[in-house]
Amino acid sequence: MKFSNAESNEVSGTSFHGQTITASLRQLKIAFGRYDGNCDKSYCTWVLRCEGTVSSFGKTKTYEHVFTIYDSLAMFYPENSPEQRIVWHIGSFEPLPTPVLRAIMDKIARL
């Protein structure tokens, strides 16, 4: 799976579907690069695209998902404690498939 930055207008209309990850700000910055700090509902937001292929029953399917990872106005400003692991929300047009969530968590876990 390949992750890259997406444009803010590509995630307009996404929402929270109950999916979260636990990570530190430092881990997310290393895994996904610079975040957007100019959002009205969070301090830190990554706007991302995930592209890949899935093989099932002899067929290969290509997919692309755009989504955000954000702090949902945590009780503290994440930059003040970049090593502290907190719960981050994932916003998308529909719940992300399990392989995409697993790839996000694996990318963070390798740090």
pLDDT digits (tens, 9 = 90+) for 43-88: 899 999 999 987 888 899 898 999 999 998 766 778 888 999 999 9
In the chain, how many domains are there?
A: 1
For 99, the token pair is 């392989």
The answer to whether 73 and 43 are in contact (CB under 8 A) is: yes
Order of all β-strands in the sheet with 59-70: 2-5, 45-56, 59-70, 85-92, 15-24
Domain span at residue 81? 2-109
Global pTM value:
0.89
pLDDT tens digit string along 20-49?
999 999 999 999 998 987 677 788 999 999
